[in-house]
Structure formats: C-alpha cells, structure tokens
Amino acid sequence: MDAERWQKIERVFHAALQAEPSLRATILEDSCAGDELLRRQVEALLAHREKAGTFLETPAFATAKQTSGSEKPPSTSGGAARFGVGAAVAQYRVLAEIGAGGMGIVYKAEDTKLGRLVALKFLPETLATDASALERFQREARAASALNHPNICTIYDIAEYQGHPFIAMEYLDGRTLGEHILGCTLDGDEISKLGIQIAEALSAAHSKGVVHRDVKPGNIVATVTGPVKVLDFGLAKLIGSQGGNALTKSLTETHAVAGTLPYMSPEQLRG
C-alpha cells in the first residue's frame, strides 16, 4: 500500500468519524466515489472504532482526581462499579479515582497486604455479563502478566469483587509519552534513551510470543522516577504455543482491524 493510498484512507476515515452517524453513509459514498475497496477499508476502521476499544486500553497512571465518600457498597455509573475513597475492595483500599470512561473505571489504591500502590481497573458491567468479552478480558490480563520487564507495566492480579471483574496492576506516576514530549524539549541523547527502553520492552514481549499491535505515545508512560513503561496489551496478538493449541491466537477477533490509525502499519490495516 503506497503513501498516497494510506493518506486517502486516513482522510476519509477522519471525515466520517467526525460526522454524525446518520450522515456517514453519505460521506462514504461521496468520498469513495465507486472505490469499493476504499469504502470497505474505512468501514472496517469505523467498526473497529465502535467495538474494539478494549478494557486494557484505559491507561492507569497518575492523572488522579480526588473523589469524596466513605467506604460503602459500590454503585454503578456507565456500567462499571464505583467506590468511594477509603472503600475496601478485597485486599485493596481505594485512595482516588484516576479516570472513568466507556471501558470502565480506574482507581489508585493501596494493597493492604503488601503495602504497595496499585491501579485497579474494573471491567464495565455491560462487558462483565458477556461470556466472550469476559474470556477475552481474562486472556488479555494473562498475556500482559506473562511479561516481566522493567519497561512493561506489571499486572499483579485478576480478580472479582461483589460480581465486578477487575485487574490489579502497577500504579504509574508519570505522563504519557505524548504529554512528556509536548511538555519539554528533548535532546538527541534523551530521545535515544526513550527509544532504547521502548525497543527493549517490545523485544521482551516478542520473545514471549506477544506482539503489542498498538504502540503509540498514549500507551507509553514516562514515569517520574525515570523508566519508560509500555502498557495496554489489550490488542496484543499471541504467536506460538503461549495462547493454547492454535499456533497463532489474537486477543481481538480474527481478521479484525486492530490498532490506532495514525500509528498502524499497512499490514495491520489489512487485518
């Protein structure tokens, strides 16, 4: 796929994405002008945008906003459990709500048994009741937890509390790479150090048969203590025997378009 074709796909995709859903068919018809392959490629990206956004794609790092309240049974908002500051969730004590969205809620919490900070990510109730989505959620967590590397966000546990599935993972105090780049001027040595850490993280994942497939500035955190952390393996692909009997197992649907358009390779776009 040449650069001109790629740019055309991206241009039509963004035009359709920004339009009202009721107008998208008209925009695609006008923009594709009889190019059925182009239309199918853009429609696949739009469908992925609507359905894929996996739970693990919500970064769990310190942009925390404080919430008020005392320990009480969870309420739900947007289909995910909500807990007040100080609430006990299994062995964890909620300290703050980091963020919430369509794919769940993330909390900063303390592991009261091990005395460390963690991030708790709760699966939305709408997905928790879907057997296939829950299985995928669990496979995603297992894929990430198999990776032990200083430049990869660590998964500590996958559990359930009062019927709400969640992942306990490393709490990252820092900024996304995109925010980090915008907030400072980096010299050549600093850029090289960042690149080496990211490459080492991906190399470690590949050695375990895990291909990330959504590497982008928003999925990389520059921590305040120095190390860069790659996170969000929700769109990862397992290659080899790690995923079960099949030689190749994707954590997304077979032939689904996986990734974020501006950072996707042509191979990813073709599914």
Annotated catalytic sites, by residue? 214
Measured torsion, CA atoms of residues 247, 248, 249, 254, in degrees rounded to the nearest 10: -130
* Residue written as token pair 């908002």: 77
Three-state secondary structure of 155-217: EEEEEEECCEEEEEEECECEEEHHHHHHHCCCCHHHHHHHHHHHHHHHHHHHHCCEECCCCCH
- Three-class secondary structure of residue 135 per DSSP: helix
Task: Check: CB of residue 87 under 8 Å from CB of residue 72.
Answer: yes
- Three-class secondary structure of residue 244 per DSSP: coil
Q: Which amino acid is at 41?
A: Q
**Using CB atoms within 10 A of its CB, is residue 130 exposed (0-12), middle (13-18) or buried (19+)?**
middle
DSSP state of 153: P
**φ and ψ at residue 243, rounded to 5 degrees:** -90, -5
Task: Check: CB of residue 154 under 8 Å from CB of residue 170.
Answer: yes
d(CA 40, CA 232): 27
Q: How far is CA 20 from the centre of its chain?
A: 25
Q: Which tokens in the block code for residue 146?
A: 């198999």
